[in-house]
Amino acid sequence: MNKIWVGTNWKMTKTIEEGIAYTKDLVDISKSISSNINLFIIPSYTLLIPVRETIENTNVLMGAQNMHWKDAGAFTGEISPRMLDEIGIDLIELGHSERRQYYNETDMDINKKVLAALNYQIKPLVCIGENKEEKEHHISKETLASQLKISLKDVNCEQANELLIAYEPVWAIGEHGEIAESDYVAEIHAFLRETLGELFGEVGIDIPLLFGGSVNQDNFMDYIQVPDVNGLFIGRSAWDTESFKVILNKLSNYVG
């Protein structure tokens, strides 16, 4: 796999003014990085339209943080794939651990959203990850396999070409997350690659697997050199463009 995916989810952090300023800086940075990096940002809903306008005719991609699976209906507070398609998003983040934890989203919910996104040619970025208790009980692989198999149910091999998978161990993300050892990440990503191969055959070999778990300036190179890590999903270390620039420049030199 020649290209790597590198991006960040802003969560609930930036105002419109802050988001536009960040995006303009990132567009400037993107002009000097390797074309082998697929660069993306995932703003809050209020920023989707102004960010879309800011990245027009650039190589920066944009996603949204969540969506409903229905095109329309009485779902107060939700946003539909039809609405996001109208804005012109490139990808949709689905199944983040915070959505699972705070809003009780299940793998079956995520599956409906994956299928809806594919129906609109929006690339699903499906987040999976085990929590601390599951890791301590040595059921990480069982948990991850279940999340993948349910979330991707009824996705055919042709559609699987559009998938992105982000492995984000719940115990490693967030302000107080533990650092995931690169050997552990290698073991899990190899297992995920094997599972995707079982689901989609040869197509599964090429589905990008991103790692996101307290990725920062000190450890990102360790992770990107792990076999079957095809990109990085970065949190706080990418929320400031100066910090993100350091990471992107080093990755650019690495991938050529």
Please tell us whether the domain made up of 4-255 is placed in CATH 3.20.20.70: yes
Return the structure tokens found at 11.
């969560």
Q: With contact defined as beta carbons under 8 Å apart, do 115 and 67 qualify?
A: no
Mean pLDDT of the chain: 96
pLDDT for position 176: 77
Distances 250 to 40, 94, 106, 237 between C-alpha atoms, Å: 17, 28, 37, 14
Residues pairing with 9 in the sheet: 42
User: What would the pLDDT profile of 33-78 be if each residue is shown by its tens digit?
Assistant: 999 999 999 999 999 999 999 999 999 999 999 999 999 999 999 9
- Residues 126-143: what's their mean pLDDT? 97
The alpha helices in 106-206, defined as continuous H runs, are: 107-119, 132-136, 140-151, 157-160, 182-200, 202-205
Residues 21/30, Cβ–Cβ less than 8 Å: no
Q: Active-site residue numbers?
A: 96, 168
The reported pTM is 0.96
Q: Which two tokens stand for residue 40?
A: 């993306």
Confidence of residue 17 (pLDDT cuts 50, 70, 90): very high
189: which 2 tokens? 């990503």
**pLDDT tens digits, residue range 180-216?**
999 999 999 999 999 999 999 999 999 999 999 889 9
The answer on pLDDT for 117 being more than 80 is yes
Q: Are 113 and 124 in contact (CB under 8 A)?
A: yes
How do residues 239-255 score in pLDDT, each as one tens digit?
A: 999 999 999 999 999 99
